[in-house]
Structure 1
Amino acid sequence: MTYITTSNLYWDRFELDKLKEMPFTDSEVEKCTVKKGDLLVCEGGDIGRAAIWNYDYPMRIQNHIHRLRSYSEVDVYYFYYIFFLYKSAGLIGGKGIGIQGLSSNALDKLLLPVPPLEEQHRIVAKIDELLPYIEKYGKAEEHLTALNTTFSEALKKSILQEAVQGKLVPQNPDDEPASVLLERIRAEKQALIKAGKIKKDKHESVIVARDKIPYEIIDGKERYIADEVPFELPESWCWCRISNLFSVGTGMTPLKSEDKYYKNATVPWVNSSQTSQRYIKDVDTHITEYALENNSLVLYEPHTLIVAMYGQGKTRGQVSELLIPATVNQACAALTAITYSQDMIEYVYYFFVYNYEIMRKKAEGTSQPNLNIQKIKDIILPLPPLAEQKRIVEKIEELMQYCDKL
């Protein structure tokens, strides 16, 4: 014979597409059979969950379901709503003073308010009348709660989007154009390469615009890159790659078993988990000067941007600014400005925050969804005039304070 379990019984309904079968003795059939109008209540599973059997045919139940059948005429729906109330209020299957289980003994001891039959009918009728409004209010409340939870972060994203599109602050025609700033950085980069302080890029990128359409010149060859830029820029802005503004490096993990790399260590060593904070002021791990000198490590200066190339959960794509000299592990990209400007560093920091989801997608499609140094170098970003970068950062930080209070 087929029978229902607690997994078939839901509030005010049954799911009967997956019924189990087992043999029943004659005495068990009498004890375990329900008929139309019986109130069924879960003893196990979601304790106290109830539904009324309103089918014209009988059904068997497992021993973890209580069958409630009145001795005299009652409005079964009234008692169904009592169980719904008790469950919602934590009086059944809840914590504290509520009944933790619902055995037959516990059910016998359950106190129920019993109004006259006619009043039971009126109560059920009023509940049925109000229920659609309650459900509508519940959905509206869920939507409002979700909105309240996500509104602040959504607003922050909108602010950053406006910022990198040149819509957050007005342009000033007296500002030195970003193209002039970029040429100055290129000249400084060539001087650093000539001095042997940084390595020359194998394929230096120069992005130019003609009729507002961007083209990239690499190794003397020009290519159309309008499909890489998601929006038009103000007249005084320009597109560039991260490698046009920063020298991008990384680090490694000295052998953990080597005492001389870690004993009495004083050199800060950053891992990708520390990019969850705006600034890196301190670290959990230090290495020795010996480790720094005998491994592929660089001591990066304060105001280097650290980008997590891989890590658990939300780590990949996070960015932080060093406030101390530090080395990094292989999971971090270290961005050192070719020409130091705190305004530019802070603007690029906020660009990375804006670009977080886009950058994470660049790492997808492989069994190990990681970023790498080349992917970081190739990131294309909108560059405002330096004076406007300062105004943008000031406005972002002013507005973010209000977002944090929401």
Structure 2
Amino acid sequence: MDTHLYIARIVGINANMKNEIPKYLLKDIATITAGQSPESKYYNTSGDGLPFFQGKADFGPLYPEIKNYCSQPTKIAEKDDILLSVRAPVGPTNLAPCKVCIGRGLTAIRPNSSICLKYLLYFFRYYEAQLQKSGTGTTFKAITQNVVKNIEVPVPDFTEQERIVSKIEELFSRLDASVAEFQTAKGRLKVYRQSVLKEAFLALPKESYLTLDSISDKIFDGPFGSNLKTSDYVESGVRVVRLENLKDGWFDDSKKSFISPEKYAQLSKHTIYPSDLIISTFISNSIKVCQMPKSIGNAINKADCVVIRLKEDVLPQFIMYYLMTKQLYNTLIHQVHGATRPRINTKQIKSMYVPNPKSCDQTGIVNKIQRSLSICDSIEQSIDTSLQRAEALRQSILKQAFEGKL
């Protein structure tokens, strides 16, 4: 059965038309407070003053997590005011968890007594995509207070608002249960992937392990500090491999960064070849490592992406899969530096112990791993498609709710 239809059937969307709902301008049904950022000297994380929110209010949790405070607040939002992100990005919403100070990236919206709070909150979550289109600016998108004040809100009577909220939350609850099942399945796939890797290397004799440096021609990090600055990046040119490109065994090419050919000429000693492995120095949850794809062409790596150029008789995928194992991760995590972003250095990478490639059938092991992981990839792709459809269905529920069809 098609997953989209399956979820829709579980949720039970009703598309019957209702009477058209009257609309009012937001400024006529709510108190609107534009945020204003205090001087940075008043910011702190020690709890001095009011909780402080500067920008994006995430779509997920109802209340944002309190991380920062302001000892000299300027603009204030009261508990349960809707916090609307009005710049970079435009549209996400949350509720103020208590009395808070808001920076210029947020606007606080407090509905009057004729408007149900959650009704208005869900309206903004429905209206988020349209607000994003209203954003202007070249460096980042933002909307003005005039745009916010003149948003048209459909306002039925209070009883109907409460019915709509109740129906939305009933449908969301069913949808969330389906999403939770998909997420659980993804978690099981992750465990299975590790069991595949563990099994592949389990029979190899530990006494034959060698240091990574001993089976490599070269292991090097990228340019540091003033050698590669933010101002060196350009719209097109020679690729720079960054941390966000490194995934668990694959290269994510969706995020691209470039430097000019002239800058590349200065940094050419950091050139990456297609057969090279690239490993992240950050290992908070796992070891991110992948092989450089041939399609990228000339490229260099950033300092937090270490390049491993193996000897000709070593199969890169064989070493890559071992570097992805939980066993190696458990060994390295005790050697990391940094409390907030655990990391290892190039010296530690060189001294990693890996299976001796000459002591086993590298190709046979790699083929066996890839057969098993390809099944995982297919299942995970189906799950991801289902999750995307579930999110689309969530927006469909909101759309129907505020078009009088729920």
TM-score by length of 2: 0.43
- Work out which of the two has the higher radius of gyration on C-alpha atoms and give 1 or 2: 1
Greater relative contact order structure (CA < 8 Å, 6+ sep): 2
